[in-house]
Structure 1
């Protein structure tokens, strides 16, 4: 491979904003794996956000790159999988598998797509120093004849249209917007983009915690919500605390800790059985993504309620780590149900992937 921009390259990143900034270029924020595709003839390499090769996990995209991308190019974008007209991040996680036979089976069953949104190089030209407006124009021209599963992300400079997308696209599984300055060059690893994500709150039951890797302080709170049948489901964690606050939480949680003698009474007592993790993830479950990590946890009587901020649900679980807001001693834990979660209006992903 001999390109004007060679792998590995750390992709340009984004910092958060609460509102859509005016006077910029706007795109949907895809919920997938960030990736940069390098193609030099028949040679294709797919690099991840952490600069590691992902080509072996997505053989169908390597073939798609040979069929639909320019013969010599470097393109920044997002790997996604769509099931039931909706982005499906869980199916992406399944693809990071050590067995090549399993990867190829999944590539046939749930093929991935690639949504392009920036151009780093084309033929013998390095475009990284060019303003984004020129890079976008060159990318659109380069992909004019591309077909599925390679897509050019929809874009607008109309802030009003971006506001509509912010509400609509969530129904297809996107988790917000990305805003870009038209004059900016490509800066690998720098947070010069802007991401605008949905900010919602929920009252959750705190039914356990994990120790911090440093030991002696709380690492994360394990959150749960009740379903209509009165079953408490593990939905995710709240984990971003200053070290001082982690120490304070040890004292605050101490009165609620359950010993081994009463652990069988805990709603999540089944977590130790491997089969309990097949249909619903319970705390303590191992996966390819946490192999070797201590996933043991301390059960708490499910009597504490916490208000957390979250941005996105993936099925019945929080897609990202929730942010601790405050304790809610006024709330009955049994009232913490899925009903309080705002359900985005369904929106067909095909409408987002289609060209404007």
Structure 2
């Protein structure tokens, strides 16, 4: 592939901020998908993941459209997404990483992926890494000005008020924040020179169980639950990433809720569920050696956690433990406390 940039190329990365930055910046929606660099040289197209691995076999439906819609020789940075039911569905996207080609083909037909372009790294024999973002964006808009589905050009603005509106309005369609890019900044592979602002909320949840840390020296994760309208405690995700000292402290703090002869567990709502109907998932289909066994707790302990996004009835990412809430009745920890953004039409995102 005789392009001025050959795969693999490390993508430019971002640091996390809690407030929208201002200054000589451009803003884009933060797409909730797989980062993907597309290398095209004539009929040859290579899709590269964030960690430099090839993605081509998992998204066969994109090869022909990318050859048709991208310039004949180019390197484009963007995101792979799967829209389903009016929103971006990360679970549907993740299902593509499957060893069976027949299943990948079936999923590609059922829920075809799309590529959202947001940066141009090379065009013909010219490398654009050192060009300011304003120049790269203008060149990208020029070559993709008449692009059509399943390839899209991401919206961009230099107006902080518009970016703040996107941050609030687009979440209902599955986006999880806003990216800020220095107007005069070059493309810096592997460096965190962008800023990402992501949604952050809190909720009171029931701790229904835990998993030991892989080193056996403490609690690795807490299994979190919320009650649905029918009064069933449903597993919604985990809180994890504890420091070593905190992992050992949690063993003592959870001890009063572990079953004993004097205080038996009783009928646990997640018993024998194995990932079915809102229970903790069983063995990982990606890593069979990974220990996913868990220890049940009497569902009496309430924790306040910080979370970013709810997708369906589960947390999209791991939550962060803030504090215990001994003042809360576990049965009051329901889905209706969560801040659910109003729905947004996915077509509206692509039309901005």
Shared fold per TM-score greater than 0.5: yes
Q: CA deviation at 1:13?
A: 1.1
**With structure 1 as the length reference, what TM-score do the two structures score?**
0.95
User: Which structure 2 residues correspond to residues 131-280 of structure 1 after superposition, within 5 A?
Assistant: 131-258=132-259, 265-272=267-274, 277-278=275-276, 280=277
Q: Which residue of 2 aligns with 1:313?
A: 310
Instruction: Give the C-alpha shift of residue 215 in structure 1.
Output: 1.0
**Which residue of 1 is the match for residue 345 of structure 2?**
348
Q: Is the 8 A contact 1:119 1:139 kept in 2?
A: yes
Q: Distance in 2 between matches of 1:350 and 1:44?
A: 27
Asked if the contact 1:263–1:269 (Cα under 8 Å) also holds between the matched residues in 2, the reply is: no
Q: Offset of 1:282 from its aligned partner?
A: 2.5
1:32 equivalent in structure 2: 33
Bigger mean CA deviation after superposition, 255-264 or 56-65: 255-264
What residue ranges of structure 1 are gaps of 5+ in the alignment? none
Cα distance change of structure 1 residues 66 and 205 upon mapping to structure 2, 3 Å threshold:
same
The match for 1:11 is 11
Q: CA deviation at 1:264?
A: 6.2
CA distance in 1, matches of 2:248, 2:64: 51
Q: Secondary structure at the match of 1:155?
A: coil
Q: How far apart, in 2, do the equivalents of 1:262 and 1:97 lie?
A: 41
Match of 2:47 in 1: 46
Cα drift, residue 125 of structure 1: 0.7
Deviations along 1:3-40, whole A, 9 cap, x unmatched? Answer: 11111112111111111111210010111111111111
**Matched position secondary structure for 1:95:** coil
Distance in 2 between residues matched to 1:283 and 1:59, nearest whole Å: 32
Q: Who is 2:20 aligned against? A: 20
Other structure's SS at 2:48 match? strand
Q: Distance in 1 between matches of 2:264 and 2:107?
A: 42
Question: Hey, what's the Cα distance between the residues in 2 that align with 1:52 and 1:235?
Answer: 30
1:295 corresponding residue in structure 2: 292
Kept after mapping to 2: 8 A contact 1:199/1:310: yes
DSSP 3-state at the match of 1:250: helix
* Contact 2:284-2:292 within 8 A present in 1 as well: no
**Match of residue 328 from structure 2:** 331
In 2, Cα distance between the equivalents of 1:254 and 1:49? 41
Preserved CA contact (<8 Å) 1:129 1:185 = yes
Distance 1:289 1:181 in 2: 37
The 8 Å contact of residues 97 and 288 in structure 1, kept in 2 or not, is answered as no
CA shift, 1:288, in A, is: 3.0
Q: Does 1:117 align with 2:114?
A: no
- Where 2:349 maps in the other structure, the secondary structure is helix
Q: Return the alpha-carbon distance in structure 1 between the equivalents of residues 260 and 283 of structure 2.
A: 23
The alpha-carbon deviation at position 60 of structure 1 amounts to 0.9
Distance apart, 1:211 and its partner CA: 0.8
2:84 is matched with: 83
TM-score (norm 2): 0.96
Q: Secondary structure at the match of 1:269?
A: coil
The structure-2 alpha-carbon separation of the partners of 1:290 and 1:310, relative to structure 1 and needing over 3 Å to count, comes to farther
- 3-state DSSP of counterpart to 1:234: strand
Per-residue Cα deviation, 1:29-85 (whole angstroms, up to 9, x for no partner): 111111111111111111111111110000111221111111111111110011121
Q: Contact 1:284–1:297 (CA<8 Å) still a contact in 2?
A: no
